[in-house]
Structure 1
Amino acid sequence: MPVKKKRKSSGSDDSGFRKCKITSYCRNQATSRIINPEEQFSSKKCLSWFYEYAGPDEVVGPEGMEKFCEDIGVEPENIIMLVLAWKLEAPNMGFFTKEEWLKGMTLLQCDCTERLQGKLDFLRLQLNDGAAFKNIYRYAFDFARDKDQRSLDIDTAKSMLALLLGRTWPLFPVFHQFLEQSKYKVMNKDQWYNVLEFSRTVHPDLSNYDEDGACDVQRSATGI
């Protein structure tokens, strides 16, 4: 009898173990579905997320943007916000329209704060891709300028250049000082593009410095 009871108990344990494995498998499958953004992205949820920050005009403005940045844990002046705006194809600094939000967040497959936080590393990586960075840099000019002006005021240009090139261009401090001493008030689009080209072609030790080329860049940077 003790043996039979033991076998019965063992069989019960086996059954319980099998149930436990099945339950665990089902839970794992459910978890996999939850963390799979491709399957779980919801336009409805994304729209509700937008309205957490949108004002009465159905636009995320400065106040909503401040709360949005706080929620995702990114400072408003962080370059990641510029990359995000580029992904959303937002033309105006400090504003996201509903259409821009839905289109961009759908592309990123983000419908909530947590999913966007999970994409921050991906957004940072865009800055290390040469082609993507060039597009971000060019986008920044139109994004930052006053829309009734064709050029970028020099103070805004200096701030944006510091954001975009300050961390990677060894000669940026010298160039920034040059802009500080300049009497010119604006930088046009061609000049803006030429600064990036200069930063990519001239070596930090100026070993490939070309006087004619440097003059061209100086003319571009100052409007001479």
Structure 2
Amino acid sequence: MPVKKRKLPDADDHEQNCKITSFTRPLIRGPRPINTEKPFSSKKCLAWFHKYAAPDKVFGPEAMEKFCEDIGVEPENIIMLVLAWHLEAANMGYFTKDEWLRGMTILQCDCTERLQSKLDYLRSELNDAATFKNIYRYAFDFARDKNQRSLDMDTAKLMLALLLGRSWPLFPVFSQFLEQSKYKGLNKDQWYNVLEFSRTINPDLSNYDEDGAWPVLLDEFVEWRRSWSAS
């Protein structure tokens, strides 16, 4: 999009007025270029939803696969978790009409092409620590069986791999620990603290405080890791 040139004041007035102009009012610019992109359409957005969900009010796993194929993203890609977070989706693998319309309105996406143009933005949100923390916490309730208060271990390991597998050096070791542990799942407090642990504890565990307020799960992991290293 071309940049409009600023209209400069007369040379005689420039020195006198520039300081005042800078602090009292915005610089006068030429007219804004006309935005030729069509505005967001709720009607078009709902028609897009019903392409996958019709005649139901929800589209499920099979429709989700087709949706992912259309936007060019694997269902297991973390971008799909970020999208679900924006939609405030309650159940993994499902989008309701209300979730879809609310989230897509915020994202201003009413068709495949517009969502594709936002994929880099969705991925970039993972680089913001506060946003990532929100997405990580959201993942617990999103992925768990709603009849259970904890996240079953198989699902927990998959979600941890998706969220922390590439960024946490200790993740492979932690995953091995979970494999051989007595735990059948992770509760919310354990889930939240794993992220905090991954962000604050050195890979060699040298700054781990055994008297800190960590869940027993993480105390046991540190003990297991140290004994495993010693042997």
Q: Which runs of 5+ in 2 are unaligned?
A: 1-32, 221-231
Residues 184-223 of structure 1 mapped to structure 2, 5 A cutoff: 184-213=183-212, 216-219=214-217
Partner Cα separation in structure 1 for residue 218 and residue 155 of structure 2: 16
Given the two structures, how large is their TM-score scaled by the length of structure 1?
A: 0.79
Post-superposition offset of 1:208: 1.4
Deviation per residue, 1:155-186 (Å, 9 max, x gap): 10000000000010111111111111112211
Post-superposition offset of 1:207: 3.0
State, as a whole percentage, how many aligned pairs show the same letter. 77
Partner Cα separation in structure 1 for residue 219 and residue 158 of structure 2: 15
Post-superposition offset of 1:200: 0.9
Specify the alignment match of 1:131 in structure 2.
Answer: 130
Deviation per residue, 1:107-135 (Å, 9 max, x gap): 00000000000000110111110110000
Partner Cα separation in structure 2 for residue 33 and residue 103 of structure 1: 24
Specify the alignment match of 1:59 in structure 2.
Answer: 58
Residues 40-79 of structure 1 mapped to structure 2, 5 A cutoff: 40-79=39-78
Post-superposition offset of 1:220: 5.5
Partner Cα separation in structure 1 for residue 55 and residue 145 of structure 2: 24
Post-superposition offset of 1:92: 0.4
> CA contact under 8 A between 1:192 and 1:221: conserved in structure 2?
no
Q: Which has the larger radius of gyration?
A: 1
Tell me the SS of whatever aligns to 1:159: helix
Residues 41-190 of structure 1 mapped to structure 2, 5 A cutoff: 41-190=40-189
Post-superposition offset of 1:45: 0.7
* RMSD, aligned α-carbons: 1.8
Aligned structure 1 segments of 4 or more residues deviating by more than 3 angstroms = 215-218
Tell me the SS of whatever aligns to 1:90: coil
Specify the alignment match of 1:10 in structure 2.
Answer: none
Post-superposition offset of 1:58: 1.5
> CA contact under 8 A between 1:46 and 1:105: conserved in structure 2?
yes
Q: How many residues align?
A: 188
Partner Cα separation in structure 1 for residue 142 and residue 67 of structure 2: 19
Partner Cα separation in structure 2 for residue 151 and residue 107 of structure 1: 31
Partner Cα separation in structure 1 for residue 170 and residue 210 of structure 2: 16
- Structure number with the higher helix fraction is 1
Tell me the SS of whatever aligns to 2:211: helix
